[in-house]
Chain A
Amino acid sequence: MFPAHFDYVRPATVEEAVKLLAKHGDDAKLLTGGHSLIPAMKLRLARPQVVVDIGRIANLSYIRETGGAIAIGAMTTHADIEASKTLRDKSPLLAETASHIGDAQVRNKGTIGGSLVHADPAADYPASILALDAEIDVVGPRGKRTIKAVDFFVDLLQSAVAADEIVTEIRVPATAKTVAYVKTEQKASGFALAGAAVVIGPGGVRVGITGVAATAYRAAGVEKALAGQTSLTPDLIARASAQAAAGVDALGDIHASPEFRAHLAQVNTRRAIEKALTRA
C-alpha cells in the first residue's frame, strides 16, 4: 500500500491554501483528517501531484454560539463534535450523528469539513446537515460564499465546493431536543446502508437520508405528509415514513439491494421520528 509520488505542502493560512489550489488546480488535493484521501492514495485510486495539508491552519477548529446558530470550524474533528457540550445542549443532532461515524480512531482524526466535501453517498453527516438546514461557508479565489445544505451535495462524491475552494465553517441552527439520527450500518465499512436524521421543530419535521442514493437527500414526501400536523400519531408517522425513499433511485451493491436500502430508509425514518419524540 504505497502511494504514487506526490509533493507535500503545508500552508499556514486559508489564504495561502487558496493560492496553492489556484496554482496547482486539478493536480492538488486538500488533506485534513486523511481518512478518505490517504486510503485512496495508498490504493493509487487517487494520485494527486500535490497534497496540500491544511491540518495545521490555526483557528479552523472550534464550536461556538453565534446568534441563534452554532458555528463549527471546518477542521473540527468528529470526536470534538461528538463531545461538544454546546452542541449537545443547543443542537444535539450533529453530536449524535458524529458518534455513529467509524470508530474512535477515525473520529479522532476525521474532520467535518473534510467529510462533507468528500460527499460520500453513505457518510453520516449529510443526513443531519440536510435535516438541520445547515449553512456551509467556503473561501476561494473569488472570496467567500455561503452554500445552503440543500445545494451542497451535488452528485456522487461531488459537493458544491469548487476544486479551488476551501470549506471554513459550518453553521447549524439551535434546535429543540426532538432530533434523532438512526442508522443501519454496512457491516464491513461502518458506513450507512441507510441513515435517517430527523429534526422536529415548530416549523415542522425535516428529514435527511443518507446511504440510499448517489447523494444524501431531503425526504420531501415524509416532510410533506407531516406538514401542519399537530399530533404525530404512530399511524401517521408510519404512513409518512413510507415516503422516505419515494422517487429515489436507490443504490444496490453486495451489501444491500436497492429494495432493502429503500426499506431501511423507511424503517429508520420512522424510528428516528419516534426516537426524537421521546426526547420532547
Chain B
Amino acid sequence: MRRRRWPVADPNTTPYVGRAMKRIEDPRLIRGEGTYTDDLRLPGMVHAAILRSPHAHARIRKIDTTAAKAIPGVVAVLTGADVNASCGLVPCAAAIPDLKAPKHTVLAGDRVYFVGHAVAVAVASDPYIARDAIEAIDVDYDPLPVVTNAEDAVKIGSPLTHPDLGSNVAYTHNVSGGGNIDEAFRKADRIVKHRLYHQRLTPMPIEPRGVVASYHTGEGTLTLWTATQIPHLIRTLLPGMIGVPENKMRIVAPEVGGGFGAKLNVYPEEALIAHLAMRLHTPVKWIESRRDNAAATIHGRDQVGEYEVAVKNDGTILGLKSKTIADLGSYLQLLTPAVPTLTGLVLTGCYTIPAVKMEIVGVYTNKMATDAYRGAGRPEATYLIERLMDVVAQELKIDRLDLRLKHFPAPGDFPFPTSCGLVYDSGNYAAALTKAKQLANWDQLLKDRAAARAAGKLSGIGVSTYVEICAMGPSKAMPAGGWEWGCVRMEISAKVTVITGVSPHGQGQETTFAQIVADRVGVPIEDVVILHGDTSVAHYGRDTYGSRGTAVGGTAIVMCIDKMIAKAKTLAAHLFETTSDHVVFENGRFTSPGVTNRVITWPELAGEFYVAKNLPPGLEPGLEASSFFEPQNFTFPFGTHICAVDLDRDTGHVKITKYVAVDDCGPQINPLIVEGQVQGGIAHSIGQVLFEQTIYNEDGQLVTGEFMDYAIPRAHDIPDYILGSTVTPSPINPLGVKGVGEAGTIGATPAIANAVMDALEPLGITHMNLPMTPEKVWQAIKTKT
C-alpha cells in the first residue's frame, strides 16, 4: 500500500489557493496553547455538577436536597421546581406538520424520560464539592414501563414514552415525487425487497460539552462561553429562554474540540448555567464528563427501514418505495425530527429513478434524543440506496457498476432535477467512478478476489457512488436563514482582518479563508487574520454545519473583498486623477496604464483611507466591507469509494486491504485540508460499519457509556487510504466549491458494508445489520458452513 506524502507548499509563494498548506491553527493546538471552555478561569467562578437520572422512565416522588445543601462549600442545590420557570423550553427549530412535541424543560419536572435526564444541579466552590453535593441528593423514583425499540414503540399496547402525548409517534412524513409510483410497481418485472438498519451512534467528540456563564448585573449583560458549533443560533434562541435580550448577550465558542453535529444544538445546560450565573451573581462553570457526554449529548442515526425497488429484467429501475422508522429518543433537540426527513431528500442517490415514495415515522423512545450527526440523514440515504443497488445487481445477476452507470445522469443533464424534489447543481459521476477504478487497479482487484476465493478465502470488494447535500443552504429550505455573513477590513497598517459568521471547529477555515483573502487582496498570508466564534466580534452568522463553511461563508468573504477593492479603486482613481474604470488592480497593486506610471500599494492606500485628508467628495473614510451571501441552491458533491476486505473465517475479523476514495467537492482551496476531512470521515465509517454502536439494554440503561464499552476507531484500525479527486465546479457560488466535511462518512459506510457483504456472498449470506462485528460475521459464516 502506498502512502501519499503531501509536499507542503512554501508559505511565501502565491497563489495560495489550491495549495496544500499546513493549517495556521495547528501550532497552538499541538502545543496545548489553545483556549477551550474548560481553560477559562474567571474571578469568583463557581462550579456546577448535574445529577442525572439512573432510570429510563420514572415518576419522581420526592427530591431531598437537605444533605447536599449542608456540605461546606455548596452554594446552591436546585431542582426543576426551582429553575424551570426561569429557563424556558429547550427549542426545536424543525417545522414538521402535525408534529407532537413534549415540553422540554431544562431539568426534569415530575418525570424522567431517559437515563441521563438532568434532575438537579449543585453549585459549589470547586468541582469536587459539586460532585459530592449531587451524590448527597436523595431522589425517590417510582420506575415506570420503558420502551427502547422504535419498532416496538409503534405497536399497540407499547409503553408510552410520553403518556400525555397519547402515542409514541411524533410524526409521519411522506415524500413522493416523480412519476406514478403504483404504475412503476405495476410495470416492474420484479420487486426487490430489503430491510436495512442504521444503528444508533454516539458522536464522542474528544472535548465534551462545557459552558461558562458570566452575568454583569449592573449592565444586564450576559457572556456565555460554550463548546458549540453555533454561537449565533444560540444568541438567536437563548434570549427567548432566559429573558436576556439578544443585544445584551454575547456568545463565544472558544476552541471547540470536535463537533460532528453533536454541538449543533441548544442544550438545556446552556440556559441552565446562564440562569445560575444570573441567579447567583457570580460566574458559573459546567464541564460535561465523558459519561454524561455519552448519555446526554445527542446521538445519531437509529433508523430502520423496509425498501422495495421496482425493476425491469434489464436492470432499469422504475421506482423506489420505503418505509422508515426513525428513533428520535425521548425529546426533540434542535433538529431532531428534521434529520430523518433529510434522508428522504437524497433517497435516489446519484441515479435517475423516475418515481419514489417514502414514509418516515418519527418515534419517541426512552433514550437520548437523536439529532444531526456527521452527515445527518444523508449517510442513511446513501447507505440504503447503495446497498439496494448491490442487492438489485445481485438478484438480477448484472454487474453492479453497469447498473450504476446505467442510471447516472450524464454531465449534460445538469442542473439535474430529481424525483425527490431537488435540483443537483453539477456533476460527472462516471468520471469519478472511472478515476476510482484506475486508482484501485480495478481489474487486478477482481483477479485478486478470484484468486483468493479459489484458495478458499472470503474476499470482497465494495463500491459506493454517492452524492450528498452540502453548502446549507438556501434560506427557503432552512429553518432560520441559510445565508452567511462576512466582513473584511483593511487596517491602517495594511493588515487584513476578516470576520466570518461561520464557526469553524476543526474544519480549518482560519487557513482556507486566509488563502482566499491573501490571493484576492494581494497580501502575504501572514497579514491576514480570520476572526470567528464570538458574537461580539462576528455580529451575524449562521455558523458551521452541513458542510457550509467555505461554500457559503467563504462566498460572503469573496463578496466583501469585491466591495472593498471597488472602494479602493475609487480612491486610487482619485489619486491617479482618473476614473475607477481606468484603474487596474492586480496582486495588491493599483495601476492605471496609459494614465500614469505610478503604482499604489495597499500600505499607501490604507493610510490614505484612515488618515482621510485626501478623499474624494462622497467617499467615506475607512476600508471595510461586509456582506450577506444568500445561496440559490445547495451544492451536491459526489464521488466513488472502493473498499476491498478479507474476512477471517475463524474470528470473523474484517481486514480492509485496500481503500480508494475519489471525491469531487469542486475546486479545492487546500487539498491537505480536504484530504484530512475525507480521512476523518472514512474513519467514522469504519467505526460505524465494523464496531461502533450505542446500546441501551431492555431496561433503557445505556451500556456503552464510556470508551471502555463504546468502540471508536483508533489509529491501528485505519488502513492507508488511496485518495483522489475530480473537479466539477458548482455554479452556485463564485468559488465553485461544494463542501467536504461530511463526504467521507457518507461515501464510505456503504462501500465498506458492500465489501463485507460481497465477501459473504459466495456463502449465500445476503443480509447483516450494522455494525458487522466479528461475532456477527462469525455467526453468519457458521450458519452457512
Contacts and interface: CB of A to CB of B under 8 A. Distances in A.
- Contact between A and B in the complex (any CB pair below 8 Å): yes
A188 B691 CA distance: 9
Contact of B707 (A3, A189, A267): A189
B289 interface: yes
Nearest to A42: B289
Contacts of A43: 291
A187 B132 contact: no
Contacts of A108: none
B700 to A, nearest CB: 15
A264 interface: yes
B778 A1 contact: no
A187 B691 contact: yes
B291 A187 contact: no
B775 interface: yes
Contact of A267 (B127, B651, B708): B651
B707 A5 contact: no
A2 B709 contact: no
B651 A264 contact: yes
Given A184-B651, A188-B708, A189-B707, A263 B128 contact: no
Q: Which of under 10, 10 to 19, 20 to 34, or 35 or more describes the interface residues of A? A: 20 to 34
A48 to B, nearest CB: 15
B708 A189 contact: yes
Contacts of A144: none
Interface in B123-161: 127-128, 130-132, 135
B703 A254 contact: yes
Contacts of B703: 254
B128 A254 contact: no
A197 B379 CA distance: 42
Contacts of A4: 128, 131-132, 135
A5 B650 contact: no
A188 B707 contact: yes
A186 B711 CA distance: 8
Interface in A59-83: none
A30 B717 CA distance: 34
Nearest to A194: B651
Contacts of B775: 256-257, 260
A184 B289 CA distance: 29
B290 interface: yes
Contacts of A5: 128, 132
A26 to B, nearest CB: 21
Q: Indicate the member of A2, A44, A103, A255 with the most B CB atoms within 10 Å.
A: A2
A263 B709 contact: no
B778 A255 contact: no
B679 interface: no
B607 interface: no
Interface in A1-29: 1-5
Interface in B276-307: 289-291
Interface of A: 1-5, 43-44, 103, 184, 186-189, 254-257, 260, 263-264, 267
Interface of B: 127-128, 130-132, 135, 289-291, 650-651, 653, 690-691, 695, 703-704, 707-712, 714, 717, 773-775, 778-779
22 contacts: A1-B291, A2-B131, A4-B131, A5-B128, A5-B132, A43-B291, A184-B651, A184-B653, A188-B691, A188-B704, A188-B707, A188-B708, A188-B712, A254-B695, A254-B703, A254-B704, A255-B709, A260-B775, A260-B779, A263-B778, A264-B651, A267-B650
Given A188-B691, A260-B774, A260-B775, 10 more contacts: A4-B135, A5-B132, A44-B131, A44-B135, A188-B707, A188-B710, A188-B712, A189-B709, A256-B775, A260-B778
